[in-house]
Amino acid sequence: MSKTLAAYRDMYRTNLLDDVVPFWADHSIDREFGGYFTCLDRTGKVYDTDKFIWLQCRQVWCFAMLYNQVEQKQEWLDIALNGADFLMKNGRDEAGNWYFSLNREGKALVQPYNIFSDCFATMAFGQLYKATGRKDFGDIATQTFFNILKRKDNPKGIYNKGVDGTRPIQGFSLPMILSNLVLEVEHLLDEKLVDDTIKDAIGSVMDVFYHPDLGLILENVAPNGAFVNSFEGRLINPGHGLEAMWFIMDLAEKTSDTALTKKAVDISLNILEYGWDKEHGGILYFKDVKGAPPQQLEWDQKLWWVHIEATVCMLKGYLYTGDERCWQWFEKIHEYTWSHFPDPEYGEWFGYLNREGKVLLPLKGGKWKGCFHVPRGLYQCYQTLEFIASKKAATTLQD
């Protein structure tokens, strides 16, 4: 180990609590209209005031989670409640679907075409229910979750641009999120529904989107899981696969399924070998599984969320299995991540690097980057490092 477990743990915990969380607490709160500014430049200055529902919800979740899991600081709960009040007043249409975006004052800008607004609303209000016990928060979380289940086979509904029947395809993102979302709200759901949702999520991720012949997870497949030879069907998103695998590891741990844990670790290692940029380091954003030019022009960028999710994945793999390959990859990803993404001058992390690892956009938040992946990942990492240390200490005592 190039650092001790305690040194790694302190590094992640300090960055979370003394750097990243204060950045969002100091710069993102809209004290006039409620909710949060997420479009922040390198220094934290607001450069756009539109409010994207999934990022509003993610920040509610983040501060409620910190209140529940780290310390019951009233400041954190107040920040979460500020976002929740804004969302309850402005966030949904008459049918209960969550809009994609609002203007600063809360007027809807973009229709509720994106089911991920609903997913993160479920997470946000589920955490706030834990923090406060308020029935209205629990009701919003459960109503939204049931709405997701109703929509999951056709998540975009009337906003789907595709023509029915020509090339039916299903995407990986929703099954992936459901594998984590169900644990976020299991305290609000019937036990059988939780078990059934877990079983369905595992089956979808591991038996439909994972293709053993490739050793990889496809982003889009036919309704029966078959490979589709098109831009969409050939797409590999290494970050999604790695994030999903730590979700699956957590589910496997919950269900005491050691075979599933090992399978998830093996898939994670395959994804990293495939997605790692052998020339410049870091994990590529997209690849075409046939080696064709990807449709996404940003395919070779290095993104913040991909690297923090990969770090979490390797630490959990090491915790659950003791596989030394996970630790070796953790240290490799850690070295790349910490030498490129955190901003020691103004705080938080840069989001977008070019292939060579140079900062492409100096923003700290925007339409897609908000208060979520970095703080959640830092929390998961320092907690997992503590569990690893405890496990090693217990093993030493037994010896």
Q: What is the pLDDT of residue 165?
A: 87
Give yes or no for a contact between 93 and 159, defined as CB atoms under 8 angstroms apart.
no
Q: What is the pLDDT of residue 222?
A: 97
Fold of the domain built from segment(s) 30-154: Glycosyltransferase (1.50.10)
Q: Distance (Å, rounded) from C-alpha 311 to C-alpha 167?
A: 36
Beta bridge partners of 311: none
pLDDT, one tens digit per residue, over 151-165 is 998 888 889 888 888
What is the residue-averaged pLDDT of the chain?
Answer: 96
Same fold, 1-28+168-399 and 30-154: yes
Give yes or no for a contact between 12 and 395, defined as CB atoms under 8 angstroms apart.
no
From the centroid of its chain, how far is CA 183?
A: 14
Average pLDDT over residues 121-135: 98
Cα dist from 380 to 14, 229, 311, 367, 372, whole Å: 13, 37, 9, 24, 12
Q: Does the reported pTM lie above 0.95?
A: yes
* Residue 199 phi, psi dihedral angles, 5° rounding: -60, -45
Q: What is the pLDDT of residue 160?
A: 86
Radius of gyration of the chain (CA): 20
Q: Distance (Å, rounded) from C-alpha 291 to C-alpha 294?
A: 8
Q: What is the pLDDT of residue 394?
A: 85
pLDDT, one tens digit per residue, over 346-369 is 999 999 999 999 999 999 999 999
Residue 124 pLDDT class (50, 70, 90 cuts) = very high
Average pLDDT over residues 257-285: 98
- The string of DSSP codes covering 108-152 is EEE-S--HHHHHHHHHHHHHHHHHH--HHHHHHHHHHHHHHHHHT
Q: In this model, does residue 1 exceed pLDDT 60? A: no
Apex 388 CA angle, 60 and 185, nearest 5: 30
CA dihedral 137, 205, 331, 381 (to 10 degrees): 10
Average pLDDT over residues 277-284: 98
Eight-class DSSP state of 1:
-
Cα dist from 150 to 97, 147, 155, 159, 170, whole Å: 12, 5, 9, 16, 16
pLDDT, one tens digit per residue, over 201-221 is 999 999 999 999 999 999 999
pLDDT, one tens digit per residue, over 226-252 is 999 999 999 999 999 999 999 999 999
| Residue 101 parent element (H or E) | strand 101-102
Average pLDDT over residues 333-340: 98
Domain boundaries, the chain: 1-28+168-399, 30-154
Q: Which CATH class is domain 1-28+168-399?
A: mainly alpha
Q: Distance (Å, rounded) from C-alpha 200 to C-alpha 207?
A: 10
SS3 343: coil
Q: What is the pLDDT of residue 399?
A: 59
Beta bridge partners of 302: 353
Residue 342 pLDDT class (50, 70, 90 cuts) = very high
